[in-house]
Structure 1
């Protein structure tokens, strides 16, 4: 489906320069001279490259629709990740770098949504939030105000996050996968 360059929104998948790109950030600019344009930061779905491009309202781009399927993560072998289709139980292997930094939060048995283009997987969407245990947390420094003070903590998957001072080592917390930030204590 063709759309105008100024109609691109974050999350849209577009075909550009012979490859598939996801719009990450957009900025509509209307200079004093000349026509308005959309500044789009895009990430390549196949190799992870990022680029910025300007699209004018007179330009059209192909907006791509991806099919989605529910999969379950089974296990990792070296740099390959194995997923199972939750409907027909077929297994598929993908390189670890397909997930990017979000792959740090992948857990055995986790349900994911795989995006496919012409029956080939192009990206994997993890849940927005995951629950993890804290393996080590720095002690609270006396005199800090509780309002805006955070301290570093290491999660069981090796990711460092900033947590409020009342969080201790061994506690389970909910973390935002895409922001890599503390959300709340786990129930």
Structure 2
């Protein structure tokens, strides 16, 4: 006959007089692990309480000693970079990230409010949380909000955006042939270099990854 048992905390007390302890793995979900041998650009890992992306990696097998993996990591939270060496085959927790499409609905002070247009859930992020990407965000723009667990750690912009020039030196006739450039301020506050022929009121396409002018939009 199976013994009658009951739980107190993580202990199981049974009528037959023995006590067994529940394994913590039953109560705690173990994180997915990844080997340093499987590092590739874009892989995300958890390290010292942060999420890091592998930017570059190099497998090194010296003549003497153990093999290792030399990496350049970039924090998904702050954007800072880190040079880090791991033992070959060393395992680390893999950061599981979730992306959801959200629309920037309005700004209040330093707070940017985004809404999931399907569930109507809202998320509020400060300028500091968004970082340098904030200079390209305008109302109505759709972005990818990246979550690590319940925490929003990043906002991914489209690779290109179209913004209106609100401030720049006047363009002069014939400037299209000079090949020069000048600074222009966008409706979101971003400043980039543009060709001399660009004028106030022009809508231009910008590469948000390189902060570069791509062309004028009709």
The TM-score range, normalised by the shorter chain, is 0.7 to 0.9
Displacement after TM superposition at 1:172 (Å): 0.9
Conserved? CA contact 1:5–1:38, under 8 Å: no
User: Is there any run of 5+ residues in structure 1 with no aligned partner, and where?
Assistant: none
Q: Residue 182 of structure 2 corresponds to which residue in structure 1? A: 151
Query: SS of the residue aligned with 1:99?
Result: helix
Residue in 1 aligned with 2:58?
28
SS at match of 2:209: coil
Is 1:9 the counterpart of 2:40? The answer is yes
Flag the structure with more relative contact order, 1 or 2, with Cα contacts below 8 A and sequence separation at least 6: 1
In the alignment, what sits opposite 2:101? 70
Pairing 1:51–2:53 present: no
Partner of 1:87: 118
**3-state SS of the aligned residue for 1:98?**
helix
Displacement of 1:165 in angstroms is 2.7
Distance 1:168 1:114, change over 3 A: same
RMSD: 2.9
Q: Deviations over 1:8-36 (max 9, x none)?
A: 3333221112322233x314264865545
Q: 1:145 to 1:123 in 2, by over 3 A?
A: closer
Alignment of 1:102-181 (within 5 A): 102-138=133-169, 146=177, 149-181=180-212
Aligned equivalents of 1:70, 1:26: Cα separation in 2: 28
Which has the higher mean CA deviation after the structures are superposed, 25-34 or 116-125? 25-34
TM-score (norm 2): 0.71
Q: 1:12 to 1:146 in 2, by over 3 A?
A: farther
Structure with greater Cα Rg: 2
8 Å Cα contact 1:146/1:165 also seen in 2: no
Alpha carbons of structure 1 residues 140 and 93: separation in structure 2 relative to 1, 3 Å: closer
1:76 and 1:65 map into 2 onto residues whose CA distance is 29
- CA contact 2:102–2:116 (8 Å) conserved in 1: yes
Q: Alignment partner of 2:180: what SS?
A: coil
Residue 37 of structure 1 corresponds to 69
